[in-house]
Amino acid sequence: MKCREVTGFLSACLDAYVDGELDDRDCGELEAHLAECESCREAVRNQARLKALIRERASTVRAPEGLVSRIQACLDEADLEERAEDATVLARNEGVSSEPKPALPPALATLDELPLAPHGARGSRGNYFRDPRESMRCGCEAQGAWLSQSCGSDEQRGRTQMQRRPKSGSHSLASPQVPSQKWRSMPLFASMAFLLVFVWVAAGGFTHDPLVDDAVRKHARGLPLEVTGPAESLQRWLRDKVDFKPEVLVFPSGLEPLGARLSHVREHPAVYIGYGRPGSGPDGERQASLFVFCDPSFDPTLERYRHRHVAGRSMVITNKNGFNVLLWKENEVVYSLVSDLEERELFELIQAASTQ
Amino acid sequence: MSPKNPERRTNESRSEFEMLALEHVDALYSSALRLTRNERDAEDLVQDALVRAYRFFDKFERGTNIKAWLFKILTNTFINRYRRKAKERSVVEGVEQQTVTERFFSRDMSSMSDDPETYIFERLLSDDVLRAIDELPVDFRLVVVLADIQEFSYKEIAEIVGCPVGTVMSRLFRGRRLLQRRLTEYAVEHGILPAEAAEPASAEGNGQLADLAAYRRRRGG
């Protein structure tokens, strides 16, 4: 029994009717027709049954055990990051202002006379504090652009930047809690201290790079691995997990991949690969973390970064909280390697590294 | 931004988020499973989506539909991370051709079964139904999931997927017809329906899928 009248209707009308989406007027018209048309009534019945079938068979699926607690663990992670961010912001707001300042007043131009921070000391992680006089001289040279981080130029190759905040003495951050325009009324010493910190910030002492900060934080925490195994199996697992193609770095010796997981660097979905000493097993100490993510806006060639040519690539080398960080880009994919290792060993490893 | 007590603020919004969002995990997971078609990815997708939702929680307008908001984030996360765009597109095109020529009232389903009260497809196993849904091209699958499994309105679906209501209706229509076709094929395979049932009906009448708005204009309403 074919319904000729309904070809005048839109076929979609019946679907919409069953979905409860027809307005009153169309509904009324359709129901008037249905009252007289068995075949359309049948179609409506079938449509309703199809819907019910789909709903019944597909919606009884329950989330697997432990998904909720895994989600809560991720939320914990997000909370920690949020708090760390807030703390950084707080410290920054109460400490040094980051607006560009007018040129250095002549009276304070000769920074050699300033008292010095811990100098030349080699930190336990193979990260040595640079002689702060160097950083101040650099800052001084770049008077018109205090925060251009000129200390990050290639001239400084071989020296890491002083990232660790000085903990004692005249270089505490306690003094410079005054807005810049009041410096004239401050005693000379206090204003010098303020300047010192200022220059220290200019030298990259307060690494403002949120990508680096986030990667370092996650390395220090040692993210739980979702999958363990050799590089080939990790590369396979990673396939289709993200929108870009991450390459698992393989080191011939010194470091081996312990496992991987999906993570974020800031808001970018990222792949995380943890490395440890060969033979240390999946629970072994995390010696290095490789983050791979997509960030078209990240520009590694910026002058504010310190660069080094390694393995045919220009890499950014920086240091944060005692960890060495290498950053490089392949097309739009950013690789960030955070490590406990000393710079020299890291470079040797990278030189010899290959991809899966 | 200089929050007075960052830790407490985080704790409050965290509990609020858990209270509002976690009750939808099952729904999110079951939809994620249809989208990604494997359990591991579905879990990851739900996890990623909820973390993103948490990060953007201050942008959520309290009192509005949180389920729709969560599903929007799930859909975006899915599209950004898991969808293989190129492959799906070609499948959709091929399939559209067939659907348009198939007449809406192609067959009277109950006349095919011995018992006119039984809806023929109810005799199919859940596996077959799920498989048929999973075989739909992703654009159709998404709207079918949102409409028929999660029971969102056309308007909500349009917001979740980010397309006009007309497109939602069209995709739903096509998706359901495809599904019906696939279920018919399974029913024939299992001997529930005779082989003729799987033949496409001859194109009769108006094969065009017109839209409700155009119909109303013609009607003069």
Distance to chain B for A242, nearest Cα, Å: 5
The predicted complex's ipTM stands at 0.77
Contacts of A218 in chain B (CB under 8 A): none
Distance to chain A for B1, nearest Cα, Å: 7
Phi-psi region of A187 (alpha: psi -120 to 50; beta: other; left: phi over 0): beta
The model's confidence at residue A269, banded by pLDDT at 50, 70 and 90, is confident
The model's confidence at residue A152, banded by pLDDT at 50, 70 and 90, is very low
| pLDDT cut 90: percent of chain A above it | 11
Distance to chain A for B46, nearest Cα, Å: 8
Whole-number pLDDT of residue B164: 94
- The long-range contacts involving B44-48, CB below 8 angstroms and separated by at least 24 positions, are B44/A241, B44/A262, B45/B74, B45/B77, B45/B78, B45/B81, B45/B82, B46/A63, B46/A67, B46/A71, B46/B74, B47/A67, B47/A70, B47/A71, B47/A74, B48/A262, B48/A269, B48/B77, B48/B81
| DSSP secondary structure of B199-217 | SPPPP-S------HHHHHH
Contacts of A51 in chain B (CB under 8 A): 148
Residues 6+ apart with CB under 8 A from A205: A135, A161, A162, A163, A165
**Neighbouring C-beta atoms of residue B113, cutoff 10 Å:** 17
Contacts of B55 in chain A (CB under 8 A): 78, 267
pTM beyond 0.80: the answer is no
Tokens coding B62: 């309290």
The conformation of residue A325, written as its DSSP 8-state character, comes to: E
Contact criterion met (CB below 8 Å) for A22 and B220: no
**Neighbouring C-beta atoms of residue A179, cutoff 10 Å:** 8
The conformation of residue A337, written as its DSSP 8-state character, comes to: E
Kindly state whether A59 is in contact with chain B, defined as any CB-CB distance less than 8 angstroms.
yes
Whole-number pLDDT of residue B48: 94
Rounded CA separation B187/A100 (Å): 73
CB contact under 8 A, A71 and B109: no
pLDDT single digits (tens) A193-216: 555 555 555 444 444 577 888 888
With CA atoms as reference, report the closest residue to B137 among B163, B174, B188, B82: B174
DSSP β-bridge partners for residue A257: A275
Contacts of A93 in chain B (CB under 8 A): 2
Largest Cα–Cα distance of chain B, in whole Å?
Answer: 73
The conformation of residue A72, written as its DSSP 8-state character, comes to: H
Rounded CA separation A46/A43 (Å): 5
Distance to chain A for B36, nearest Cα, Å: 11
Top-confidence residue, A118 or A281: A281
CA distances from A121 to A126, A203, A349, B68, B192 (A): 10, 18, 25, 57, 83
What average pLDDT does range A210-233 have in this prediction?
A: 84
Whole-number pLDDT of residue B203: 36
Whole-number pLDDT of residue A189: 61
Of B3, B29, B153, the CB nearest to A67: B29
Q: What are the mean pLDDT values of chain B's consecutive 10-residue runs (221 residues total)?
A: 58 90 94 92 94 92 94 93 53 43 40 56 84 94 95 95 92 92 89 72 40 57 46
Tokens coding A210: 């949120």
What average pLDDT does range A334-348 have in this prediction?
A: 87
Contacts of A264 in chain B (CB under 8 A): 51
Q: Is A15 exposed, middle or buried (0-12, 13-18, 19+ CB in 10 A)?
A: buried
CB contact under 8 A, A269 and B81: yes
CB contact under 8 A, B105 and A240: no
Residues 6+ apart with CB under 8 A from A116: A131, A132, A133
Rounded CA separation A150/A139 (Å): 7
Kindly state whether A48 is in contact with chain B, defined as any CB-CB distance less than 8 angstroms.
no
Contacts of A11 in chain B (CB under 8 A): 104, 173, 209
pLDDT single digits (tens) B155-199: 999 999 999 999 999 999 899 999 999 999 988 888 887 777 666
Whole-number pLDDT of residue B175: 93
Kindly state whether A39 is in contact with chain B, defined as any CB-CB distance less than 8 angstroms.
yes
Q: Is A237 exposed, middle or buried (0-12, 13-18, 19+ CB in 10 A)?
A: buried
Distance to chain A for B118, nearest Cα, Å: 10
Contact criterion met (CB below 8 Å) for A301 and A289: no
Contact criterion met (CB below 8 Å) for B125 and B41: no
Rounded CA separation A34/A8 (Å): 14
Give the type of residue at A332.
E
Closest alpha carbon within chain B to A90: B2
Of B29, B121, B212, the CB nearest to A12: B212
Whole-number pLDDT of residue B9: 67
Contacts of B56 in chain A (CB under 8 A): none
Q: Which of A46, A54, A262, A294 would you mutate first to test chain B, the one with the most B CBs within 10 A?
A: A54
Q: Kindly report the average pLDDT of chain A as a whole number.
A: 71
Contact criterion met (CB below 8 Å) for B54 and A75: yes
The helix (run of H) or strand (run of E) holding residue A249 is strand A249-250
Kindly state whether A38 is in contact with chain B, defined as any CB-CB distance less than 8 angstroms.
no
| DSSP secondary structure of B13-69 | HHHHHHHHHGGGHHHHHHHHHHHH-SHHHHHHHHHHHHHHHHHTGGGS-TTS-HHHH
Largest Cα–Cα distance of chain A, in whole Å?
Answer: 102
Distance to chain B for A88, nearest Cα, Å: 10
Surface of A (147-166) touching B: CB under 8 A: none
- Whether the per-residue pLDDT at A154 is higher than 70: the answer is no
Give the type of residue at A105.
P
The conformation of residue A148, written as its DSSP 8-state character, comes to: G
Distance to chain A for B63, nearest Cα, Å: 22
